[in-house]
Structure 1
């Protein structure tokens, strides 16, 4: 029994059916949670150390690194039975859709900092950091997540069951 099957066995039946039905979305969300931690950990590290004067650049770098991790995890796990394209074409489309997601992700923190002036010296450092987190890590990431899920299913991994599911040997 795989790890996912053992976890699903612990979930009550009405919810288990919903999770199985929306398995791709659930896996995509788990990958998103993982890359959320990578993105935010790296973003706050960069903007509080070497890129303290360039928070948008720090966010762009952290999103790019999280996107590379996301490609590997989504291709090999979330959408592992989907395909329909040559790998280089698939990767190019993945990173193109992700670039659109990056731009969407950067709009809220840009607005927060440079339009609403939620940055030092106009506000306290604590207010700035909370505004950065809410705008970049919550609002921007949620908007980008919906865009990416739609774009990945539509263009990057368009065909369901294009690659065979690998069923582990029960022995």
Structure 2
């Protein structure tokens, strides 16, 4: 359990930094560049995703198996695209279905509720598929067989 707690703490720290980057970028696109709600959200998330990948690969899950940068990067972005879909869905429902289109409403829907739901999905996905656990040896193999004895060999038929 301590390893899970460490991973969650590191994931939260990396996520916090990426979240600040996303908030700043998204609001910049909305307020300064007058981007549409979903476009600004998507661009902010894209920028934050690069930050999150680097932090998670080289810090949060650095102790896990290395399965290749290209593979990890591709899966990371696929799962982030799904997480982005979760964020955009919450924002879209808020703006286009419920009619809550102010800056505060956009931030609550996309950057609080959407990020929260998307983060739960992302953590589980990264841990399971992007940065899988190292294959572990069985205790008997590590000790050279039962009780430290040499491993049993199967005799060949004569």
TM-score per shorter chain, which class? 0.7 to 0.9
Count of paired positions? 136
Q: Equivalent residue for 2:141?
A: none
Q: Equivalent residue for 1:146?
A: 120
Superimposed CA distance per residue, residues 104-159 of structure 1 (whole angstroms, 9 cap, x where no aligned partner): 1111111110000112xxxxxxxx12211110111000000000000001100112
What is the 5 A alignment of 1:80-91?
80-91=62-73
What is the 5 A alignment of 1:1-171?
22-52=5-35, 54-119=36-101, 128-160=102-134
| Structure-2-length-normalised TM-score | 0.80
Gaps of 5+ in 2: 137-158
For the 8 Å contact 1:28–1:78, the answer to whether it is kept is: yes
| Structure-1-length-normalised TM-score | 0.75
- Which structure is larger by alpha-carbon Rg, 1 or 2? 2
Runs of 4+ in 1 over 3 A off after TM superposition: 18-21
CA–CA separation in structure 2 for the residues paired with 1:149 and 1:69: 15
Q: CA deviation at 1:51?
A: 2.7
Distance 1:57 1:78, change over 3 A: same
CA–CA separation in structure 1 for the residues paired with 2:81 and 2:16: 19
Q: CA deviation at 1:160?
A: 3.8
Q: CA deviation at 1:86?
A: 1.7
Q: Find the residue that maps to 1:80 and give its secondary structure.
A: coil
Gaps of 5+ in 1: 1-17, 120-127, 163-171
> What is the RMSD computed on CA atoms of the aligned residues?
1.8
CA–CA separation in structure 1 for the residues paired with 2:135 and 2:49: 24
Higher relative contact order (CA 8 A, sep 6+): 1
Q: Equivalent residue for 1:11?
A: none
Superimposed CA distance per residue, residues 21-47 of structure 1 (whole angstroms, 9 cap, x where no aligned partner): 610110000001001100001111110
